[in-house]
Amino acid sequence: MNMWNSEIRQQNGHTANSAGGGNGARNNQQQQQQVKQLGMTSAISLAGPKPEDFQKTEELRKALEPYKVFESEEELNHRMEILAKLNTLVKQWVKDVSIAKNMPEAAAEKLGGKIYTFGSYRLGVHHKGADIDALCVAPRNIERSDYFSSFFELLKKQLEVTECRAVEEAFVPVIKMNFDGIEIDLLFARLSLKEIPDDFDLRDDNLLKNLDPRSVRSLNGCRVTDEILSLVPNIENFRLALRSIKLWAKKHGIYSNSLGYFGGVTWAMLVARTCQLYPNATASTLVHKFFLVFSRWKWPHPVLLKHPDNVNLRFPVWDPRVNASDRYHLMPIITPAYPQQNSTFNVSESTKKVILAEFNRGMATTDEIMLGRATWDKLFEAPSFFYKYRHFIVLLVNSQTADDHLEWCGLVESKVRLLIGNLERNQHISLAHVNPKCFEYKKGSNNNNNSSSSTITVNTVGTNNNNNSNSSTNEEEKVSASGQQSAVSSSPFCSMWFIGLEFERTENLNVDLTESIQNFTEHVIQHGVNIKMLKEGMSIEARHVKRKQLSQYLDGDFLKRERKSMENHNNFNNAILANRKRLSSEMNQQITQKDGAGLGGNSGGGGGGGLLQHHQKRSRVSEMKFRKNNNAAAAANSNSIFSQRLNSTSSSSSNNSVSGNALSSITPGATAAGSAQMSLYKNSTSSLFARNHHRRLTNANYGSNHHHHNRPHHQLQHQHHGAQQKLNNSKAFNNVVNQTTATSNSYAINLTDENDVEELLTTGTCATSTTTITCEYVT
């Protein structure tokens, strides 16, 4: 059937790509060169892959295999059989319910009903043992109440179905079950159609007319997935890159929509946007460019895969011009199907900091990989969470039965982000980092004299209280215990979530979290009462624990592995810093020697002339360095964004040169301070730009007349013989430069974005000349 064909294409694509380069690679490159423009802006690069790119991609594929991200042909067929059984079950159920409502059997036979898939399975990037997101579509005579009554009972009667439970009151109502060993989340949508044919396409916006909001939300998953697949230039490259990014996100603890991180559809949209910006790149290059693009993205500028559809069916859409609440979203990533929604509305200040830190760490790691100094395995190494912080809040969720515990944990998990919000509002807490992994408490591993409290006293001695393991000897913590717990938990079932805390740098800090914790636990319990879920034995408790007390809650061997992971991470970071320091020292030494030789050889002709001749003799573009910003986030970013080499393409008789350095504020969403000064030397016979016009990493604006945060337009000022001409884009600037005779003219460019500064350099084949172009970054 049409909904499962993607899996067959995926398997065939995997076989074809495994063959590597050769004629297949060349044919693939030729086909990609003809790809049409996709996305809000034109591509950054249309360059085709090189042989080493195919080699890196094959290395990436092999690195993924131990993590079981690929399924065998047999496993794929098993999933298709399950979906076929479920589809048959839906058709029979629609027929039986219709007959029970006095519809003639002949008419009921034609009504149809269908199962659609979406999410990772529909995208073709699911891993071994992954669940399937599916949607049951029924005609207008079938009510939602029928779905959660008669169909739910029908599912429980199936021999293959276990752990079947209905969540009717959820924002998107769902039936969860295990069907013959495969977890399935099955949504429901009732269309205002008499019949549902087998070839029905859900992408038609008109089918949303007269639907209730729950059905629209249920349909949104399928519609978004299909739009994503239609908006990427090469599906196979997209799939391999997305598999890599999803595995990386899970290993680094930033894969959870409910806890305020990014969910599966969000990661898919970010990878799709990267594919649009680099349509001819291989999967390995896309992974590297993914970190390049989003480590520098100017949040809260939205990520969009296409211009919003002009559809007016009166459903709410994401639009900060109209909806005041949308203006407070920190990292908006907008779904491409109507009604457009922000898939990251759960992101908080803390989760944003964690995500950005991981983006920059990923950038540093992939830089090393592409330079051949590390392997892809390094990207998928899980960082240490429990040796990164010294203070934790542990949430203990207790229940008496397995079924009760499954429901209770699901509710608590959906509310943890509220506790994060409560903690963030505390002026002394700079970061509340929740670990998305749920840990099961094993009885007998705890110390019976465990103490807990919600009052934390921290005495910092001349250090930033970021709770790093390396600063443990400089910190002294005291916990005011309000009571003794006889055990971690006495319930038959106990699960735990851990939240790492960072405090502001303050001496003799005393933080009372009692109110924040009590408000959270009371809210969760009250919600459980309201939806009639709370049962006897269900409880939730929040405790403060220090790192040295973690052995009461977690396995000792696990903590040893965490410590080893922290040591490996620190060693890798030290190696990167050493390589950069060595490279910087070598570059400075070479530049000093060349400058001295150039000035000495032209001493008779004047210092300025000798320096100019020295610049004309350079055969290689010097490296651009990014300085650290004053704020902490920019400092973290500067660890991953280091010297970028721009290779010259001119011959030895016409050498290129870029000199100077750049001060770049990388902090997303923050106002930049400083300027970037660069001098480019241009020959009268050479073009400043190799491409037709200036490329942008971020989307220009949202809508036709809206600029986020009143962001000013780019203004390019051209100064020639005392006259100034304002230009509204870099293409116009390019034309002026190419038509101007090379003299001692100066061109001043005022840029509003550090990306503009970088792209001005990276798009050019700047040749030697007496013409100087000064680029100044203004805020």
Residue-range domains of the chain with CATH: 39-68+233-371 (1.10.1410.10), 72-231 (3.30.460.10), 385-442+490-554 (3.30.70.590)
The yes-or-no answer on residue 251 being catalytic is: no
Catalytic residue selected from 185, 226, 326, 753: 185
The yes-or-no answer on residue 255 being catalytic is: yes
Check residue 715 and give its pLDDT.
37
Across the beta sheet with 658-662, what order do the strands follow?
658-662, 676-682, 771-777, 746-751, 715-720, 723-727
In this structure, what are the phi and psi dihedrals at residue 297, rounded to the nearest 5 degrees? -65, 140
Cα end-to-end span (Å), the chain: 55
Catalytic residue selected from 42, 85, 131, 306: 131
747 annotated among ligand-binding-site residues: no
Check residue 457 and give its pLDDT.
53
Check residue 95 and give its pLDDT.
95
Helix (H) or strand (E) holding 678: strand 676-682
Give tens-digit pLDDT for 57-99. 999 999 999 999 999 999 999 999 999 999 999 999 999 999 9
Check residue 764 and give its pLDDT.
37
- Sequence-ordered strand ranges (E) for 355-508: 391-399, 429-434, 439-440, 451-452, 455-460, 475-480, 483-484, 493-503
Give tens-digit pLDDT for 419-475. 999 999 999 999 999 999 999 987 654 444 444 555 555 544 333 444 444 443 333
Question: How far are the Cα atoms of 139, 187, 224, 737 from residue 747, in angstroms, in the given order?
Answer: 66, 59, 46, 9
Catalytic residue selected from 120, 215, 244, 657: 120
The residue behind tokens 């660069």 is: 678
Q: Could you report the average pLDDT of every consecutive run of 10 residues in the chain (779 residues)?
A: 42 41 46 64 92 96 94 93 95 95 92 94 92 95 94 94 86 92 95 91 90 92 96 96 97 95 97 97 97 96 93 90 95 96 96 97 95 95 94 95 90 94 93 96 55 52 41 37 53 94 84 90 93 90 93 92 89 84 81 65 42 36 34 35 31 33 30 31 30 37 40 38 38 38 35 41 34 34
Q: In the structure encoding, which two tokens stand for residue 96, read together?
A: 């039986």
Nearest to 779 by CA among 758, 756, 762, 759: 756
Rounded Cα–Cα distance for residues 381 and 569 (Å) = 9
132 annotated among ligand-binding-site residues: yes
The yes-or-no answer on residue 205 being catalytic is: no
Nearest to 48 by CA among 30, 68, 67: 30
Helix H, strand E, coil C: the string for 311-347 is: CCCCCCCCCCCCCHHHHHCCCCEECCCCCCCECCCCC
In this structure, what are the phi and psi dihedrals at residue 602, rounded to the nearest 5 degrees? -125, 25
Q: In the structure encoding, which two tokens stand for residue 41, read together?
A: 């802006």
777 annotated among ligand-binding-site residues: no
The yes-or-no answer on residue 185 being catalytic is: yes
* Contact indicator for 768, 681 with CB cutoff of 8 Å: yes
Check residue 311 and give its pLDDT.
86
120 annotated among ligand-binding-site residues: yes
The residue behind tokens 């069916």 is: 313
Helix (H, G, I), strand (E, B) or coil at 72: coil
The yes-or-no answer on residue 133 being catalytic is: yes
Cα–chain center distance at 59:
23
Check residue 444 and give its pLDDT.
53
The residue behind tokens 């087998």 is: 198
Catalytic residue selected from 91, 121, 133, 516: 133
133 annotated among ligand-binding-site residues: yes
Nearest to 266 by CA among 291, 246, 236, 287: 246
Rounded Cα–Cα distance for residues 581 and 571 (Å) = 15
Nearest to 621 by CA among 646, 585, 591, 651: 646
131 annotated among ligand-binding-site residues: yes
Question: How far are the Cα atoms of 99, 169, 233, 696 from residue 214, in angstroms, in the given order?
Answer: 26, 10, 32, 38
Check residue 575 and give its pLDDT.
84
Helix (H) or strand (E) holding 214: helix 213-230
Check residue 456 and give its pLDDT.
57
Rounded Cα–Cα distance for residues 151 and 190 (Å) = 14
CA dihedral over 75, 254, 318, 286, signed as positive or negative: negative
Check residue 210 and give its pLDDT.
87
Catalytic residue selected from 116, 121, 147, 255: 255
Q: In the structure encoding, which two tokens stand for residue 713, read together?
A: 């337009």
Residue 593 pairs in a beta bridge with none
Rounded Cα–Cα distance for residues 446 and 38 (Å) = 56
Q: In the structure encoding, which two tokens stand for residue 227, read together?
A: 């739009």
The yes-or-no answer on residue 557 being catalytic is: no
Rounded Cα–Cα distance for residues 82 and 182 (Å) = 8
265 annotated among ligand-binding-site residues: yes
